[in-house]
Structure 1
């Protein structure tokens, strides 16, 4: 009896904390992918080198403008990146996205188009995180409600939607969980249809 109590207690604890643990793991993994180290000195040197080429090509005003930007923008990018990462770790997604978008605009000013696009995409991705988490939670709740009503077809739709959101969140654990539930229900309904068909044939 004590063993069963401990087992049930563990299951209850897991049910309470596992979603939060998975969420924190996702945030940690995503943060490591999102943070792209930018070295201010290296970026400044790159801009100075590019400005020298401009001077050689006779683009004097453009070169002077780039040299001026090389003195301030790289350091500003590094400082903003630090703020962005800190906000992301605190789950302040809107603030983090704003910082990443600011970095994208700064990179645009110095014509670093590849990095600019990268940070713009990161900003857009981060904006969606709280929405995806919230919607996925609603999808799972709806799926479970329909399970209780024995409305398996609708439950399948909700579990499938939850799996798709998990895929967007790069949450493989939850993706597999909801996908398996949807597949299991589909298999059950298919078996039920086949059983009814066989009964119908026997009765005929």
Structure 2
């Protein structure tokens, strides 16, 4: 499957989304991996995780990079050798990356009813404005936003429930704001999202 979607943003950021139709072997025929990446793929028990990992390497190629340009710091955050920022996500049938000159985060989630069961684990302030209408869609946006911000925020220990607030939004507008407050850091974020095939992709930029 070719690239599913590319989104170019005003601040020199680009989002790339891949629909994962290929097999593990199909992916491997089309790329070169670092030895550490090959070992990581071989060590994955889930074929779904293998395909997600490899599809991200296809997205890197679309963005003009390869597996050899990507590395991870001690906290597990991905970086590109040329100094650009990158964030990575994959969920079942889709994967995505965002590449930018600035700090960015991305998350793709399948819209599933079971998110209602765990809402109390990541909502606090947001309970004030969430309603039964489009509840799963709204919760998926909030979860995706907090996940994307978590990938951007420097200190470990950030709590989705206590430290990140997603400001009230209209789910069909696909645009929102959020705040993160933790220890000495307070940061505002722009949120963007899109919905497709029962999935929600949220990406966050520092405001």
Between Structure 1 and Structure 2, whose CA radius of gyration is higher?
1
Per chain length, whose mean CA-contact separation is higher, i.e. which structure has more relative contact order (CA < 8 Å, sep 6+)?
A: 2
TM-score (norm 2): 0.23
TM-score (norm 1): 0.23
Higher strand share: 2
